[in-house]
Amino acid sequence: MSQINRNAAQLRATIVGNKLVGQYHQILISVGDLVDRCKPGNFVAINVGGDSSRMILRRAFAISRVAHSASFGGTMELIVAPHGQGSKWLCSQPEGAIIDLVAPLGSAFGIPTEPVQVLLVGGGYGSAPLFGLAEVLKTRGCKVDMLLGASTAGKIYAPMEGKRSVNSLRIYTEDGSMGIAGKVTDPITELISDLDVAVIYSCGPMGMLSAISALTESTDVVHQCAVEESMACGIGICMTCVLPVRNSDNSISMLRSCIDGPVMDGADVMWDLVGKNPLVQP
């Protein structure tokens, strides 16, 4: 047996909750024992459109949290933005609908062995996995501060119960409709030194991740980011989801963000080369 996808299973699972939170759908799925294998950072790949769909590929969503509930057993929560046809289909599924999913997939956020100061930065629905991560970090004694940003208030996902695990939460919106007007990356440099941040965990648009990598470049801060590339398979067999990553010998590898990610070390990702031709042949 290979180590790749070693926790993954395919199963037909029932949607047990679907409610609108801001501009997102909070979707709860009953997945049984699978929850025990899910770690913050992992994602799920879901079939969309039903039996006679012209959409042939799965859609990837970060696992926001997992829980054990009395009525539904193990549950997995997703925060889904109705973007195109596939995600809209998922958002339109009623409670009781059965979906076909593969999970957990991909790498998870690395958890520090020491109780250090960490900063969680989420953009849009990127905040989804951060609350589950915050819980884990808190149980390990880390001090957890959080920044969330989006273009507008409706795209901020910050559930009440999630806030319990964080020391502070600051919200930024570009249009100023919620929290501070500005970008979530604005205060990072200052916070790094003020709080003495050891690790930044980030999840959100690629531009945000790349900006954080630039900010942490000349610092000692470790930047663990969950990337998002177009994915055809989610399990490592198609090579569509690659990102240029610098190896220790300075050569470049095109790593699959579905199995070598989505969580990657932000310092290794060659952000400038994403979507470009990595001319250099190793």
Ligand X SMILES: Cc1cc2nc3c(=O)[nH]c(=O)nc-3n(C[C@H](O)[C@H](O)[C@H](O)COP(=O)(O)OP(=O)(O)OC[C@H]3O[C@@H](n4cnc5c(N)ncnc54)[C@H](O)[C@@H]3O)c2cc1C
Q: 54, 161, 250, 279: which one contacts a second copy (CB under 8 A)? A: 54
Query: Vertex 234, ends 259 and 124: CA angle to 5°?
Result: 95
d(CA 84, CA 137): 34
Q: Whose structure tokens read 């999913």?
A: 101
For residue 55, the minimal CB distance to ligand X (Å) is 6
Residue 187: burial class (beta carbons within 10 Å; 0-12, 13-18, 19+):
middle
Residues of span 257-276 touching ligand FES by CB under 6 A: 258
Q: How far apart are CA 9 and CA 20, in angstroms?
A: 28
Residue 57 binds a second copy (CB under 8 A): no
51 binds, among other proteins, a second copy, ligand X, none (CB under 5 to 8 A by kind): a second copy
Q: Is 87 in the site for a second copy (CB under 8 A)?
A: no
Which entry of a second copy, other proteins, ligand FES, none binds 49, CB below 5 to 8 A by partner kind?
A: a second copy
Q: Does 94 bind a second copy (CB under 8 A)?
A: no
Which residue, 107 or 117, is less far from ligand X as judged by CB? 107
Among 4, 55, 116, 232, binds a second copy (CB under 8 A): 55
Binding site for ligand X (CB under 6 A): 43, 57, 59-62, 78-81, 83-88, 125, 128, 228, 230-231, 262
For residue 278, give both structure tokens: 């990595």
Nearer to ligand X by Cβ, of 89 and 172: the residue is 89
Question: How many other CB atoms are found less than 10 A from the CB of residue 262?
Answer: 27
Residue 105 binds ligand FES (CB under 6 A): no
4 binds ligand FES (CB under 6 A): no
Interface residue with ligand FES, options 238, 252, 254, 270 (CB under 6 A)? 238
Return the one option of other proteins, a second copy, ligand X, none that residue 176 interacts with (CB less than 5 to 8 A, by type). none
Interacting residue ranges for other proteins, rule: CB under 8 A: 1-2, 4-6, 8, 10, 47, 54-58, 100, 102, 229-244, 252-254, 259, 274-278, 280-282
How far apart are the C-alpha atoms of 263 and 143, rounded to whole Å? 21
d(CA 77, CA 34): 13
Helix (H, G, I), strand (E, B) or coil at 89: helix
Alpha-carbon span 172 to 265, nearest angstrom: 24
Binding partner of residue 60 among other proteins, a second copy, ligand X, none, CB cut-off 5 to 8 Å per kind: ligand X
Provide, rounded to whole angstroms, the least separation between the CB of residue 195 and ligand X.
27
- Does 3 bind a second copy (CB under 8 A)? Our answer is no
Taking the complex as a whole, how short is the minimal distance between the CB of residue 98 and a second copy, in angstroms?
Answer: 14
CA gap 56, 54 in Å, rounded: 6
Alpha carbons 146 and 137: distance in angstroms, whole number: 12
Q: Which residues contact 39 (CB under 8 A, 6 or more apart)?
A: 104, 108, 109
Contact 258, 279 (CB under 8 A): no
Token pair 């994403």: residue: 274
**Three-state SS letters, 248-259:** CCCCEEEEECCC
Residue 153: CB minimum distance to ligand X, A = 17
Q: Which residues bind ligand FES (CB under 6 A)?
A: 231-234, 236-241, 256, 258
